[in-house]
């Protein structure tokens, strides 16, 4: 009777019910995969009636416009790296009832150290990539970075890896024990993607029935190996003169890629397009999608391509592609660095660029709604 009385008292009183709070931390809102995951989860949780803070070290990047108005955007306004630790710690100290999710490695390290000595309801880190970039670093940087990860990650309650390879790398590198790790696929497709892919595209190559467009999307970084793709495309175009290559993205290798295209004499048949807030019309109107990464934590772009049934050719690199494509069931996997095999696979895909209904249905497994439920379990939220 005593319990029932308090339940009815809460229902009929004017005092609002306290919402469970979730804090998602990301360095910025730049156009990367981790930032998109942060925004997708924040928007979904806010729409599901949770109190949501999206915490950024610095409020920059094109994803700002995608943040739901229900999300409380917290800008730590960090101008220099040395201030990050203290501002994160202050935030965590004043939001102890929040379930905290940090979505990318560098942020995880700062959050982990800042969380020591504080009581936090739940702290989870999302690991977004394999350890390849760290393992390829010179000493002593490699050892120092791994040490920092090991100490910081010890503070987290759970570590969410976006692929089996990502999880395996963390365990093999002795960053975390296996029992602390869990694999959750990325929440890629939000409810708006169906409407977004129907928007009209005004790029001439995509509208010309006589032209076959190979599309690639990603950050202009060595990891994505766009120079390899350009080299591959040169041979493809020599055989199939109707082929064109469009690369969409931004990053530090932007000028180098422009120069390479010019040197290879491909300026008339290769185009670089800056980052697009709505990338889906490009997938919808392309003929083939190409991924040439040397390693890839997950590969959000593969799911985006699958969501329109686009034929895919991907390197079988360490990380997510073989998981996302189910070992070649939903796209062609080419051995890493095998240029001849990649040229052959692209030519075969261009000859028969048929949209696949089974790929579209499969991509829905990566919807924000489905994946967010798994995140809630890890964050110890059951309702």
Q: Residue 341 pLDDT > 90, yes or no?
A: yes
pLDDT of residue 80: 84
Q: With cut-offs at 50, 70 and 90, classify the pLDDT of residue 32.
A: confident
Q: Residue 272 pLDDT > 60, yes or no?
A: yes
Domain boundaries, the chain: 8-187+367-378, 193-365
Can you spell out the DSSP letters for 217-286?
E--SSGGG-HHHHHHHHHHHHHH-TTEEEEEE--STTHHHHHHHHHHTT-TTTEEEE---S--HHHHHH-
Q: For residue 118, which of 90, 139, 146, 148 has the smallest C-alpha distance?
A: 90
Q: Residue 5 pLDDT > 60, yes or no?
A: no
pLDDT of residue 382: 65
What does the pLDDT average to over 224-235?
97
Q: What is the pLDDT of residues 34-61, one digit of tens each?
A: 999 999 999 999 999 999 999 999 999 9
Encoded tokens for 116: 């020591």
Q: For residue 237, which of 262, 272, 213 has the smallest C-alpha distance?
A: 213
Average predicted confidence (pLDDT) for the chain? 92
What does the pLDDT average to over 350-375?
92
Question: What CATH number should be reported for the domain whose range is 193-365?
Answer: 3.40.50.2000
Q: What is the pLDDT of residues 68-119, one digit of tens each?
A: 999 999 999 998 888 899 999 999 999 999 999 999 999 999 999 999 999 9
Q: What is the pLDDT of residues 240-255, one digit of tens each?
A: 999 999 999 988 999 9
Question: What CATH number should be reported for the domain whose range is 8-187+367-378?
Answer: 3.40.50.2000
Q: With cut-offs at 50, 70 and 90, classify the pLDDT of residue 7.
A: very low
pLDDT of residue 141: 94
DSSP secondary structure letter of residue 307: T
Encoded tokens for 15: 């005092």
Q: Residue 4 pLDDT > 60, yes or no?
A: no
Instruction: Give residue 110's region: left, alpha or beta (phi > 0; psi -120 to 50).
Output: alpha
Instruction: Please state the three-class secondary structure of 18-48 as a single string.
Output: CCCEEEEEECCCCCCHHHHHHHHHHHHHHHC
Residue 105 in contact with residue 145, Cβ under 8 Å? no
Whole-angstrom CA distances from 158 to 100, 195, 235, 336 are 11, 35, 46, 32
What does the pLDDT average to over 348-377?
92
pTM: 0.89
pLDDT of residue 18: 58
> Chain-centre distance of CA 335, in angstroms?
23
Q: Residue 2 pLDDT > 50, yes or no?
A: no
Residue 257 in contact with residue 247, Cβ under 8 Å? yes
C-alpha–C-alpha distance, residues 29 and 63, integer Å: 5
What does the pLDDT average to over 291-296?
96
Q: Residue 145 pLDDT > 60, yes or no?
A: yes
DSSP secondary structure letter of residue 104: S
Residue 252 in contact with residue 220, Cβ under 8 Å? yes
Q: What is the pLDDT of residues 209-224, one digit of tens each?
A: 899 999 999 999 999 9
Compute the Cα dihedral for 313, 317, 319, 323 and give only its sign.
positive
Q: How many Cα neighbours within 13 Å face the side chain of 168? A: 8
């Amino acid at each position: 009777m005593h319990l029932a009385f308090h339940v009815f008292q809460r229902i009929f009183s004017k005092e609002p019910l306290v919402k469970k709070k979730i804090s998602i931390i990301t360095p910025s809102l730049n156009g990367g995969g981790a930032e998109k995951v942060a925004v997708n989860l924040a928007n979904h949780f806010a729409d599901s009636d949770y109190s949501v803070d999206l915490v950024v070290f610095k409020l920059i990047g094109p994803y700002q416009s995608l943040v739901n108005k229900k999300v409380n955007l917290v800008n730590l306004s960090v101008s220099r790296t040395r201030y990050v630790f203290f501002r994160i710690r202050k935030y965590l100290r004043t939001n102890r009832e929040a379930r905290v999710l940090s979505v990318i490695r560098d942020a995880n390290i700062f959050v982990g150290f800042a969380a020591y000595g504080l009581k936090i309801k739940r702290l989870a880190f999302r690991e977004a990539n394999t350890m390849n970039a760290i393992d390829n670093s010179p000493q002593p940087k490699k050892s120092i970075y791994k040490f920092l990860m090991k100490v910081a990650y010890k503070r987290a309650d759970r570590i969410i890896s976006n692929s089996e390879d990502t999880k395996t790398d963390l365990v093999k590198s002795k960053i975390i024990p296996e029992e602390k790790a869990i694999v959750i696929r990325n929440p890629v497709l939000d409810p708006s993607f169906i409407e977004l892919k129907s928007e009209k595209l005004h790029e001439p190559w995509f509208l010309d029935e006589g032209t076959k467009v190979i599309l690639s999307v990603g950050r202009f970084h060595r990891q994505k190996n766009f120079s390899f793709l350009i080299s591959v495309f040169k041979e493809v175009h020599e055989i199939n003169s109707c082929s064109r290559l469009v690369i969409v993205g931004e990053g530090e290798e932007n000028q180098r890629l422009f120069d390479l295209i010019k040197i290879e004499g491909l300026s008339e048949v290769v185009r670089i397009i800056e980052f697009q807030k709505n990338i889906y019309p490009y997938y919808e109107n392309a003929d083939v999608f190409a991924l040439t990464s040397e390693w890839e934590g997950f590969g959000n772009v593969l799911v985006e391509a699958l969501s329109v049934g686009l034929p895919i050719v991907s390197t079988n690199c360490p990380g997510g592609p073989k998981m996302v494509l189910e070992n070649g069931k939903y796209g062609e996997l080419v051995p890493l660095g095998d240029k001849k095999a990649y040229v052959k696979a692209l030519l075969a895909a261009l000859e028969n660029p048929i949209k696949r209904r089974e790929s579209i249905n499969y991509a829905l497994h990566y919807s924000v709604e489905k994946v967010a439920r798994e995140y809630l379990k890890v964050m110890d939220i059951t309702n």
